[in-house]
Structure 1
Amino acid sequence: MGILGNQEIADYQYFTTYTVYSNIAGFDNNIYSGTGFQLGSPDLKWEKVNTRNIGADLSFLNDKLSVNLDYFYNKTNDILLSPITPTVLGTTLGDVNIGSMENRGWEVTLNYHFKTGDFNHSASFNIGNTENKALDLGNPQIRVVDNVGFIQQNGLPLGAYYGLKTDGLFQSYDEIANSAIPIGVTPQPGDVKFVDRNNDGVIDDNDRYYLGDGFPHYNFGFSYNLNYKGFDLSVLIQGVGKRLQSLRGDIYMPFHNGAWYPVIFKHELDTWTVTNTDARFPRLTTDNSSSFSNNWGRPSDLVILNAKYIRVKNIQLGYTLPEKLVSKCGFKSVRAFINLQNPFTFSPNSFIDPESTEFDNLLNASGGNSGRNYPTLKFYGAGVNINF
């Protein structure tokens, strides 16, 4: 248990700062400079993180099996936030100690060592989860960047997605005529159908939902080591049991921004047609059409993917030559091995790295994930370790 501070804030916010602008106004055919200012926060103080932790270490089967349990709870008070001010103020305020937030989570680790004949086994498994919730971050703040909606609201986690819920694809004009549609949009069969949350017959901002958060949950890892008469095998697997990931741009939206009309990715081929009515994606349209605006032009869960995955991180198989044999050559030991790194990844979306994200380490997001990152490299190699 303890209390920590946070120094990751901007400097000199307790001062009122002034900025000179060279062309802020014009008068009598002349340009005049002017001064803008930001009010300081003279009562600034440290953010405080109250940390509590409890754990237990257990062993069974003559210490062959060990179990480690851990639970933590962190509450952050006096979080520095920039308050919302009326536009008539004419400026902005610096950060003020007005927020609070909590994090809680747990982790379980199992280790097991055993023998079967000449085989020596060692296995380890761990899993953990963390939940984040805003307690007092002021009034709700909603923003949309790159067709991805985010909401900051008390009671919800940071990095929360916000938008419309899809309800499949329109299959006929009769279904369209009997459904709620956005104002100004003329959908066609094959376009996205949205849930009318308030049942007013119109799809608008009042129909938006909290759609989940982009924080990884149920992180797990598994390692296994085997030794048998000079042979050794090691396997490392890790993954995430629950996570959402937003995606934008040409890697996900066919013909995005008109720059990719000649190109379509293989995973985008599952689009609605009269012979493919249970497609994953709506029908193909140009990006200046009413249908494109309906399908991709507003924040919805259409651009939020299931990013859970299992990844085989490493497999290594080795053999250590008998000491009597290598000592005749003047060596202490000789071991040959083959190694595979990232050979397999199991994910609902094979076209993007499930570990990629639009969030930074503070769970701030500047928009959706474009997927424009280097793919996870697979490595296959072999080597020899020689000790003299």
Structure 2
Amino acid sequence: MVGGAGTNIANPDIGWERSAKLNIGLDAGLFDNKIVATFDYFRSTTSNILAPRADVPFIFGAASPDYNVAKVRNTGWEASVTYNLRSKDVTQSFSLNVADNQNKLLKLTGSATETIYNQDVFQLIRRVGSPITQYYGYETNGFFQNQQDIDNSPKIAGNNVQPGDLKFKDLNGDGIIDEKDKTILGNPFPRYTFGFTYRIAYKGFDLSLFIQGVGKRDAFLRGELVEPFHYGYGATVYEHQTDIWSPSNPNARYPILANIGSPSNTNNWRTGSDLYKYDAAYVRLKNINIGYSFSPAVTKKLGIQRLRLSLIGQNLATLSKLKFIDPETSEFGNNLNPGSASNSARQYPLPVFYGAGLDVTF
């Protein structure tokens, strides 16, 4: 016997999203195009976005289908400048581009102004007037340093704490830590994306180098790469997890070590807070290509038109405060809905590639 219940229903009135866009651009070439610059500003408002309704009562007995109800605005800009430098034997170019984009939720569904989603131990919030999705939970306030600190500080009801456990901010000042003290903790959307490209050619030699990165981004991560002794995945402590609280290390990154199921583990790791928040800004040497093209005199003797040898490297170096996982990792898909375990830091490591190339034109 196989039992089950269908809880999804269709909406025959679904239609296309609608978008109104404004784009303003400026292109400039100066000093006989030695300097080329561009600037673009855009503003896009998308309405009739598919989203479930929030006003369907539970007694209905089925999940809400998607409706054309949500509305989002994206505003941003992109600027680039290229400097070309030429001499008798050497040609160089320097290119820099910077872009920023911000989104705002204008309408969610019906009369609802916010929706909170449970994402493992912390939460995500969608609030009208704010970015589409933000992290939501408790702000940490250091650690309990001693018993006197425990006695004089607000705590979550039912949480038994000890020195080395996390303290949380009492944002409404009522002397207890509860749902009323939760707040927006960060924004997963990247800000200030940038890239830099350098090219140089000298006689038969050429080199191109590409650097890219993100100036500001918050990432919330879970799993055994974050929490020591994580549930069900072995009694593992990684090197980057060893900055833990002790009387001699009161300003540590992580709270005191605690076994799974212990009161300290419940307070520190089962309570959604900015303990899971990491700075995911980074700069990466994305690509480098060094080559040599043989002269026409050589290729003519070989009976070919062009011959070039090259050495290639990708993802050769990354500078970031977030070192134990690729800082470019995101737990959000194209539809901005997080997966159930995609924030667990179980990502395939970023591969570093070294190669060589042979280009022959007959």
TM-score (normalised: structure 2) = 0.92
Report how many residues are paired: 357
Residue aligned with 1:345, SS: strand
Taking the aligned partners of 1:252 and 1:37, their CA distance within structure 2 comes to: 35
1:178 aligns with 2:152: yes
Contact preservation (8 Å) 1:240, 1:309: yes
Residue aligned with 1:234, SS: strand
Taking the aligned partners of 2:64 and 2:306, their CA distance within structure 1 comes to: 67
Taking the aligned partners of 1:37 and 1:365, their CA distance within structure 2 comes to: 21
Aligned partner of 1:123 among 94, 106, 112: 94
Residue aligned with 2:302, SS: coil
Contact preservation (8 Å) 2:223, 2:346: no
Aligned partner of 2:278 among 305, 316, 333: 305
Residue aligned with 1:240, SS: strand
Give CA-to-partner distance per residue, 1:193-228, whole Å, 9 cap, x none.
111100111111111111222111111111110011
Partner of 2:129: 155
Structure with higher Rg: it is 1
Partner of 1:230: 204
CA-CA distance at 1:101 after TM superposition? 1.6
Residues 189 and 330 of structure 1: is their aligned pair in 2 closer, same or farther, counting only changes over 3 Å? same
Residue aligned with 1:340, SS: strand
Partner of 1:191: 165
CA-CA distance at 1:38 after TM superposition? 6.6
Residues 205 and 116 of structure 1: is their aligned pair in 2 closer, same or farther, counting only changes over 3 Å? farther
CA-CA distance at 1:285 after TM superposition? 0.5
- Across the aligned residues of Structure 1 and Structure 2, the Cα RMSD in angstroms comes to 2.2
Partner of 1:99: 70
Partner of 2:175: 201
Residue aligned with 1:291, SS: helix
Aligned partner of 1:337 among 282, 306, 310: 310
TM-score (normalised: structure 1) = 0.86
1:317 aligns with 2:287: no
Contact preservation (8 Å) 1:258, 1:286: no
Aligned partner of 2:237 among 264, 275, 281: 264
Contact preservation (8 Å) 1:165, 1:300: yes
Taking the aligned partners of 1:231 and 1:85, their CA distance within structure 2 comes to: 67
Aligned partner of 2:24 among 50, 54, 77: 54
CA-CA distance at 1:124 after TM superposition? 1.4
Equivalent position amino acid for 2:286 in 1: K
Equivalent position amino acid for 2:57 in 1: P
Taking the aligned partners of 2:42 and 2:198, their CA distance within structure 1 comes to: 28
CA-CA distance at 1:39 after TM superposition? 6.8
1:111 aligns with 2:85: no
Please, which runs of 5 or more residues in structure 2 have no aligned partner?
none
Residue aligned with 2:161, SS: coil
Percentage identity across paired residues of the two chains = 40
1:279 aligns with 2:252: yes
Please, which runs of 5 or more residues in structure 1 have no aligned partner?
1-20, 25-34
Give CA-to-partner distance per residue, 1:166-185, whole Å, 9 cap, x none.
11222222222221111111
